[in-house]
């Protein structure tokens, strides 16, 4: 084989490996984004499963967790700030349920939905007032933002940590729901609140636990998300919240595995679309086109239960 031909084959091999690792990096990025959407989507799907309520304020609780980290880390270390942010976000989520949703428990669902939208705008406007509407830089969390080399690829540690942590949290949540008394109570309330009440289950406590779990996952997702995108604005939770909602609908709202699957589909496809400069502008359009398609052809999602009542 001639020297020129060997150089040509080496060139082709190098080009192939370059493309291969490029697409692997895109896939890892898509899985990371999908994991973040999954952590938010679980909150939507759990609240809907228990209350038949779309908690439109969930994305803004995710945003509030970002600002909690910014302001708390300014006066204390990152490692002290992390548990405080998780606790404050959980308190905020439970407070929203107590103040905005619990008094409307017997009201028409439209009233509760309007209340959820009102809470969403309230949180956004409060954040705008408190921050002046300006983007704030997110603090650096060293163990998430340091670079890791895998073969010839260099990625942030959170690209590896995010999917692994998401899988661990989802597995733990499924075990909680299927193997514990509180999980059994949650399933009973999701099936029939009146019957569950007659059986002695404390409905309000179960609903509070649901908001605790959803808010905790939103806080974890917030830490990972803003460590990747590096700044927080008062509207920063709106688009991730909407995409997570679409993920929940795609998988079958009320189904945790369905919400996770939908989140990964959206995250991976969105990342590949953004990588193409000609079509990057359509990355958000894809998400909402998917919502239209799933509502037209399978309104209850891939794994959701078909409801006979009108919602």
Please state, in angstroms and as integers, the Cα–Cα distance from residue 110 to each residue in 53, 101, 104, following that order. 9, 12, 10
Residue 109 burial by CB count (10 A; 0-12/13-18/19+): exposed, middle or buried?
middle
Beta bridge partners of 232: 136
Collect all residues with Cβ–Cβ distance below 8 Å to 142 and sequence separation of at least 6: 78
CB atoms within 10 A of CB 10: 10
> Which of 112-126, 150-164, 172-186 is least confident?
150-164
Please tell me the distance from the alpha carbon of residue 5 to that of residue 22, in angstroms, as a whole number: 26
What the block records as the tokens of 187 is 């399933």
Please tell me the distance from the alpha carbon of residue 187 to that of residue 181, in angstroms, as a whole number: 10
Confidence check: pLDDT of 177 > 70: yes
What is the sign, positive or negative, of the torsion defined by CA atoms of 18, 166, 81, 122? Answer: positive
pLDDT: is 69 or 309 the higher one? 69
pLDDT at residue number 297: 85
CB-facing half-sphere around the CA of 246: CA atoms within 13 A:
24
Please state, in angstroms and as integers, the Cα–Cα distance from residue 28 to each residue in 138, 154, 177, following that order. 23, 11, 29
pLDDT: is 273 or 11 the higher one? 273
The 10s digit of each residue's pLDDT in 12-47 is 344 444 466 677 888 888 899 999 999 999 988 888
Residue matched to tokens 């921050």:
131
Give the mean model confidence (pLDDT) for residues 236-241: 89
pLDDT: is 212 or 230 the higher one? 212
Whether 65 and 223 have beta carbons less than 8 Å apart is answered as yes
Give the mean model confidence (pLDDT) for residues 120-133: 91
Residue 236 burial by CB count (10 A; 0-12/13-18/19+): exposed, middle or buried?
buried
Please tell me the distance from the alpha carbon of residue 104 to that of residue 100, in angstroms, as a whole number: 7
Would you report the helix, strand and coil content of the chain in percent, each value rounded to 5? Answer: 75, 5, 20
pLDDT at residue number 12: 37
Collect all residues with Cβ–Cβ distance below 8 Å to 68 and sequence separation of at least 6: 84, 85, 88, 89
pLDDT at residue number 305: 63
Residue 156, classed as helix, strand or coil, is: strand
pTM of the model: 0.86
Whether 259 and 44 have beta carbons less than 8 Å apart is answered as yes
Of the pLDDT bands very low, low, confident and very high (cuts 50, 70, 90), residue 304 is: low
pLDDT at residue number 27: 87
Rg of the chain on CA atoms, in Å? 21
pLDDT at residue number 307: 52
Give the mean model confidence (pLDDT) for residues 253-282: 86
pLDDT at residue number 14: 42
The 10s digit of each residue's pLDDT in 153-163 is 677 888 888 99
pLDDT at residue number 190: 85
What the block records as the tokens of 68 is 């909690």
Confidence check: pLDDT of 63 > 90: yes
The proportion of the chain whose per-residue pLDDT surpasses 70, expressed as a percent, equals 89
pLDDT at residue number 52: 79
pLDDT at residue number 7: 47
pLDDT at residue number 134: 85
What the block records as the tokens of 92 is 């905020």
Phi, psi of 155 (to 5 degrees): -130, 165
Confidence check: pLDDT of 5 > 60: no
> Which of 15-19, 82-86, 171-175, 198-202 is least confident?
15-19
Of the pLDDT bands very low, low, confident and very high (cuts 50, 70, 90), residue 152 is: low
What the block records as the tokens of 89 is 């976000």
Give the mean model confidence (pLDDT) for residues 76-105: 92
């Amino acid at each position: 084989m001639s020297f020129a031909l060997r150089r040509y084959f080496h060139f082709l091999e190098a080009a192939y490996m370059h493309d291969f690792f490029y697409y692997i990096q895109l896939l890892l990025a898509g899985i990371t984004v999908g994991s973040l959407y999954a952590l938010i989507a679980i909150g939507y799907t759990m609240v809907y499963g228990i209350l038949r309520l779309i908690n439109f304020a969930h994305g803004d609780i995710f945003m509030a967790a970002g600002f909690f980290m910014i302001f708390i880390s300014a006066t204390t270390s990152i490692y002290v700030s992390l548990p405080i942010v998780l606790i404050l976000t959980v308190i905020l989520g439970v407070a929203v349920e107590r103040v905005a949703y619990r008094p409307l428990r017997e009201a028409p669902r439209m009233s509760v939905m309007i209340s959820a939208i009102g809470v969403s705008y309230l949180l956004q406007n409060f954040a705008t007032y408190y921050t002046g509407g300006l983007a704030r830089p997110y603090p650096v969390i060293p163990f998430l933002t340091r670079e890791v080399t895998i073969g010839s690829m260099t990625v942030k540690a959170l690209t590896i940590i995010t999917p692994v942590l998401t899988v661990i949290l989802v597995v733990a949540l499924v075990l909680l729901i299927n193997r514990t008394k509180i999980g059994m109570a949650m399933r009973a309330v999701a099936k029939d609140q009146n019957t569950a009440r007659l059986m002695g289950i404390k409905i309000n406590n179960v609903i509070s636990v649901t908001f605790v779990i959803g808010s905790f996952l939103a806080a974890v997702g917030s830490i990972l998300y803003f460590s990747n995108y590096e700044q927080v604005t008062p509207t920063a939770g709106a688009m991730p919240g909407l995409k997570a909602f679409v993920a929940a609908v795609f998988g079958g709202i009320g189904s945790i595995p369905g919400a996770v699957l939908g989140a990964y589909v959206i995250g991976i496809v969105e990342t590949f679309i953004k990588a193409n400069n000609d079509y990057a502008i359509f990355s958000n359009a894809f998400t909402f086109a998917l919502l239209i398609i799933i509502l037209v052809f399978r309104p209850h999602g891939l794994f959701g239960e078909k409801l006979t009542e009108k919602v």
